[in-house]
Every structure is written in C-alpha cells, then in structure tokens.
A and B are shown apart, each in its own frame.
Chain A
C-alpha cells in the first residue's frame, strides 16, 4: 500500500450564482486545484465526481464525462451520489484505489447548483434524500428531519435552543475572513433565537443556506509526489464509511448517529490515530444540531456533552478543539455535492498553514472531516495528517 497525498485544492466561492452552470463551477474549482498542485492534467488517470441533484436542477445526468471535459481531463470519469456525502464518497473511492496502486493521480471533486431551483424547489429536491414513502409523503422536510432529531436529543440528554444558537454564532465568526464563504458577517445568539422558525426547534439561522459551488482536489500517490517533485505535505491517512436505516423511524437511535460512529471508528483505525490526537474538525453542520451529533460520533465528546461545546467556548477558534474553522456548512455554504471535498480542502489548507484561519491551529498535525448523507443514513469520515 502506498500513501495518498493531497497535491492541490480548489474551491469556488460558495453562495448564490444562479447564472453559473455546474460545469462552469466545477471547471473553475478544478482549474484552481491544478494550479495549486502543479500537476499536469495529462497525468490524471480518473475523475471521481460527487453530485446529488443534477437531474432536478440542471436536467443533467451522467455528469462524470461532462465534468472531465470541463476540467480538461481525458480520463474515465464517474459520478458518485450519496446525498450530501456525495463528494466524500468520491474521495473515499479514490483514496482506496491510489493506496492499492491502481492509480497515481486522481482528480476528485463535486459541484451542486441549487439556488436556481428557488427555496421551495430546493426544499423539495433535498427531501428526496429521505424515504419517499414513509417520510416525505407524511410531509417531512429535511430541516424537519433534523428538528425531529433535535427534539429527541433535548429529551434524551438536555440542551436547548441557546446551545444550538452558539454553534451558529461560532461558525459565522469563523467565516468572517473566509472570502469564499457564503456569509461573512457576525450574528448573535438573539439573531438565531429571533429568526423565523423553519421546523421547531430549528429556525432560519439554525439552517445552512441553499448554495451553488464546486470543490476539487488533486490526489497523488506518495511515489508520484516523490518522483515528480510535487510539494504535497498533507496525507489522507484514514477513511471510513458507515450506514444506517434510510428512514429515521427505522433507526435504533433518534438522538444519535450510529453511521457516523461507524465511519469515525473505521477512519481512526485506518489512520492509527485516536480522538485525542485530533487538533481540529470540519463537520457536517447542515443544521446546528448536526454539529453536536457529529462531535459525539467522532468521539471528541461523550454522548450528550457536545450540545454545549460551542457555548462553553471549547470549539471556537480560541478553544481547545476548533470546529468548522471554514465557517462550516452554516456560514461557508452547502452546495451538497461539493461539500465533502470542500471540507477536506479546508482541512488541507489548515494543516499546510495557508488557510485564513491557520493561526488558530498553528501546530496542528491531525484534522478530521465528517460528511453526512441524508439524515446520516450515510456517513464518511476522513483523517488528514501532516506527513512525516
């Protein structure tokens, strides 16, 4: 087995750009990743690409070859779909193949175009990540699903809306200087508490926005990096995936995410590190409650403890364990198919020291990225480390 290095990262700005097509967005992200990597496009052996709602938002299926063309890559190209974890699924497949010597250079990324659907259309499109028969037909929306989990969490372990609000406030603070983030403005706990309700107890500011955007990584084997003099100091050392019942009603837990427990345990084991080694995390905070669930599944907090972490200042940029220094999905934005790879891109930059918030984790050696699909019926976790 060989090591896997991140040679280059590329992100578009996340936000509202309804006039830009998916192919334009991904072309930009890929171009930035190639520029960062200094690896020629000709050396790419495959494109692994994540996208969730292309059929609905752009009437475009079979996006793999299309995105290879837009990226200027003549190579086999496959789209991965795992709801909001689509591009992490693409990354995981690439990591495994590079490790096993199947390929030396892989372009990995994702894109999503959502704002052109409008709020109602995007809400409907996101809902198809839930069980059509037993959830969507009963009126369950995506925020509604997380609201059901939030209520269950409050009942099982305590916590309240102010705890959740602190998570949103923190992630907005982290995004202030992130020029690619959708929101670069502070909010207060009162802003969150006073915002219009979406699905109680979650309000507008507990929810990530609807976003357009794309992300890309150039992954190379250790051998390729050495042979071609590629500067790639960050390695993907762990990858894990977990699964659970599609519908919330069929899960063992309504206030926990066992698929993420499984993904995290596998990723730690794969990397040979533990939660105590983690210096920072990028987690899937599509709704504020999701960040607490993620931190508990990553074993960074005991079950029932993470709800208050932001409020206590532990996961802020000045805390012991900064979480979502990118701004998270909440403030950075959540173009669903682009999200998983964007988390790894941000983590790579944080570890390289060229992220706008790198000073918050100046000596960081280990970062973890947690990307969830649906209501965490799918979860993929990656561990990134500064290579020795």
Chain B
C-alpha cells in the first residue's frame, strides 16, 4: 500500500498512520526530553541519535487553527475545511480537523488522532476528531 506518487512508502509517516489506525500512536523522544514525530534519525534540537519510541498521549488540544476556503487542487472538494496544529504532550501535530463546524472550533478544543482521507483524492491523511 502506498499513497506516494513516487511509488515509495514514506517511512515514518505511513508507519505513523498505521499506528494511529491500530490505536497505538507513538513519538520519538531523545534523552533530553525533546519529542518529535517520525521519521527522525537524530533529535533536531540536540543531535542525539538515541531516540526511543514512546506512546503518544491519547488526548490533544488545538493550539491554532484556520478555516481554509481556497484549497490546493488535491483538496478542492474538501473546502472549506479546518487545518489545526494541536499539542499532544511533548509533540505538536498538524491535521485536518473533522466532525466540528468551522465556526465552532476554538483554541483548547480537545481532540484525538484519527486517519481520514481527502474527499478529493481519497488519499490517506492525518485527521483530528473532537474527543
């Protein structure tokens, strides 16, 4: 299964979506406590290659969001839609926020990760659902 037009599987990203689907999403932590989404071979902050997989908290919250009205062609049928940057413990996650009217989104909204699809292309993507 690949969603990448180059034919390659996107290591880290596709694995992460699979992990979200099975309910076991994770992040990569360095000994200094910096957290990142995959794929990473080193911590961008401290350069440590000693990264461990840790369970991502199940609940996150919206830090900032926008209602996109003008979409890229691969999201033409999705517009208007909400893009949000959310915080899940030590990491932030950008996703397509579903299941809430654009006018009702606010900072601090509690969300959980899900795997969705673009209505336009059917391609898998990282989604966020109200919790």
Chain A interface residues toward B at CB < 8 A? 119-121, 123-124, 127, 133-141, 143-144, 147-149, 151-152, 155, 196-202, 245, 247-250, 254
Q: Are B72 and A120 in contact (CB under 8 A)?
A: yes
Q: Are A134 and B94 in contact (CB under 8 A)?
A: yes
Partner of B96, one of A138, A143, A147, A148: A138
Partner of A141, one of B10, B70, B102: B70
Q: Are A152 and B83 in contact (CB under 8 A)?
A: no
B25 an interface residue at 8 Å Cβ cutoff?
no
Offer 21 A-B interface pairs, CB within 8 angstroms, sorted by A.
A119-B70, A120-B76, A123-B72, A127-B72, A135-B94, A137-B13, A137-B125, A138-B94, A139-B96, A141-B68, A143-B68, A144-B68, A196-B69, A197-B69, A198-B68, A198-B69, A199-B83, A202-B66, A248-B85, A249-B37, A254-B63
Query: Chain B contact residues (Cβ within 8 angstroms of A): what range?
Result: 35 or more
**Smallest CB separation, B19 vs chain A (Å):** 15
Residue numbers in B under 8 Å from A119 (CB-CB) = 70
B78 an interface residue at 8 Å Cβ cutoff?
yes
Q: Among residues 12 to 32 in chain B, which have CB atoms less than 8 Å away from a CB atom of chain A? A: 12-13
Q: Are A144 and B85 in contact (CB under 8 A)?
A: no
Q: Are B66 and A199 in contact (CB under 8 A)?
A: yes
Q: Among residues 59 to 101 in chain B, which have CB atoms less than 8 Å away from a CB atom of chain A? A: 63-76, 78, 81, 83, 85, 91-96
Partner of B64, one of A139, A151, A202: A151
Q: Are A249 and B94 in contact (CB under 8 A)?
A: yes
**Smallest CB separation, B95 vs chain A (Å):** 5
Q: Are A197 and B83 in contact (CB under 8 A)?
A: no
Residue numbers in B under 8 Å from A250 (CB-CB) = 36, 44, 92
B107 an interface residue at 8 Å Cβ cutoff?
yes
Q: Is the interface of A mostly helix, strand, loop or mixed?
A: helix
Q: Among residues 115 to 131 in chain B, which have CB atoms less than 8 Å away from a CB atom of chain A? A: 118, 123, 125-126
Partner of A139, one of B71, B92, B102: B71
**Smallest CB separation, B25 vs chain A (Å):** 13
Residue numbers in B under 8 Å from A196 (CB-CB) = 69
Q: Are A123 and B95 in contact (CB under 8 A)?
A: no
Residue numbers in A under 8 Å from B93 (CB-CB) = 134, 249
**Smallest CB separation, B59 vs chain A (Å):** 17
Q: Are B73 and A120 in contact (CB under 8 A)?
A: yes
Knowing that A119-B70, A199-B83, A249-B85 are A-B contacts, what are 12 other residue pairs whose CB atoms are under 8 Å apart, sorted by A's residue number? Answer: A121-B73, A123-B70, A123-B73, A134-B93, A138-B96, A140-B83, A147-B68, A155-B107, A200-B102, A249-B91, A249-B92, A250-B44
Residue numbers in B under 8 Å from A134 (CB-CB) = 13, 37, 93-94, 126
Could you tell me the distance between the alpha carbons of A133 and B12 in the complex, rounded to whole angstroms?
10
* Chain B, residue nearest A196 (CB): B69
Residue numbers in A under 8 Å from B94 (CB-CB) = 134-135, 138, 140, 247-249
Most chain-B CB neighbours within 10 Å: which of A123, A137, A148, A249?
A137
Residue numbers in B under 8 Å from A124 (CB-CB) = 72-74
Partner of A143, one of B70, B76, B78, B81: B70
Partner of B66, one of A136, A151, A155, A249: A151
* Chain B, residue nearest A126 (CB): B72
Could you tell me the distance between the alpha carbons of A155 and B63 in the complex, rounded to whole angstroms?
9
Q: Are B63 and A141 in contact (CB under 8 A)?
A: no
